[in-house]
Amino acid sequence: MGLSSWLGYATNSFHHSPAAIKIPLQDGTQEGLDDFCKNTTPPCRLNPLLFNGHLQTMWTAVKAEGPQMHYKRKIFQSEGTEFIGSFTVDFVVHERGEVDTTLPARTTYFTEKEFDNIGSSNSKPMLIALHGLSGGSYEIYLRQCLAPLVENQEWEACVVNSRGCAMSKVTSGVLYNARATWDVRQVVKWLRKTFPNRPLFGIGFSLGANIITNYIGEEGANCALKAAVVCSNPWDLDASSVALQRSWVGMEVYSKTMGTNMKALIERHAEEVSKYTAINLDALRKTKYLHEFDRVIQCPTWGYPTERAYYRDASSCDSLLSVRIPFLAINAEDDPIAANDAIPYGEFKQNPFTVLLTTSLGGHLSWFETGGQRWLAKPVAAFLNRMAFETDLKAVGALSSTAEHSNMGSAFDPMRRRLHVSAGQ
């Protein structure tokens, strides 16, 4: 590690196709997606006391308050016959609501009248966010990235909570996993109908990054999002799991913590889980690590023979090849959870719609600057703002249908999954 790293000066590196798509700008010019991303990325200057990925990642346990973001929640019933049950979406609002102790802080439910009148014909950009493993709309990393966009009310935003997360209810045997694209797909369809003039954008964090990448890949050229950012995506879940199991800290700190969090999530819904599924709660309580949790939960729930079969099937590294919207991924090379070995560098060089930004420091969903802010919020806001307000979005949307970009001449189908799950509901 060089002196610059010890001082918190991280190195930014960009990985992309040599034939990156040209982004049409409103002034009539064009800019390659690679340069577009480089020009919206500031230098990465992090807290010099948090000089490696472990220190950066472990600092997330220091619970700062973060931006004071307020939400109103709506419970959606799944429209799909394969994915029955309910899920919740938290919409960013700009007024304080009544305190509701059954929900996370600063979150209340829409009244029926409020939600009936939520539709709008305005053209403000809208961001759809997916949180990380066992998290929710309340997560500090998520609020720190959304706050610069919504604080001046130039953007609207909502967070799709994974089933059972963020104090939501489990109402069926359909839980969530790393391939759980069905709820975000329904939300996007509903948003297109309810806000027909709003351009939609996506952002995902960690497991949510894996899910939204899978969703964008499944949609391909028909994706309704204009652009997306994914942060700390674990990409190849099998490779990331193996990397965690190689070291004591990987097993006893990260894997154990994530496994404990997921066990606690299931325990909060033990009655419903017992009612709607055949999951063995006694076996669950004996698990210690995340891969053991997945063995007991994901395998019987979805029919995978092993947890590694689930990881291989649910990974988003191949989905990246089907992305047909401007797509920026941000990963730290020292991330101890989303391992550098799992990042699909070659796939980024193959797909002209995608750019990968890696930093030499940053940890997992961390990138802490001196003072506690996350550097991550800066490139996220800059990329999304420029996409929303400086590009010709109609022309950008047409790029995916051009002959040179439709399938890019490959006979390989990156979305051919081993476990059949209907993409279209």
Which of 291, 316, 364, 366 is catalytic? The answer is 364
In angstroms, the CA 132 to CA 211 distance is 10
Burial 385-418, CB ≥16 within 10 A → b, else e: bbbbeebebeebbebbeeeebeeeeeeeebeebe
In angstroms, the CA 34 to CA 39 distance is 9
Which of 17, 78, 162, 206 is catalytic? The answer is 206
Q: Is-catalytic flag, 364?
A: yes
Task: Mark residue 400 as left, alpha or beta (left: phi above 0; alpha: psi -120 to 50; beta: remaining).
Answer: alpha
Cβ–Cβ under 8 Å, residues 304 and 178: no
* Beta carbons within 8 Å of 267's beta carbon, 6+ residues apart: none
Which of 34, 183, 334, 335 is catalytic? The answer is 335
In angstroms, the CA 274 to CA 237 distance is 28
Q: Is-catalytic flag, 318?
A: no
Q: CA-CA-CA-CA torsion for 18, 416, 233, 17, nearest 10 degrees? A: 0
Q: Is-catalytic flag, 183?
A: no
* Residue that is written with structure tokens 């960013």 in the block: 92
Please state the separation of Cα 257 from the chain's center in Å: 20
Q: Which residues are catalytic?
A: 206, 335, 364
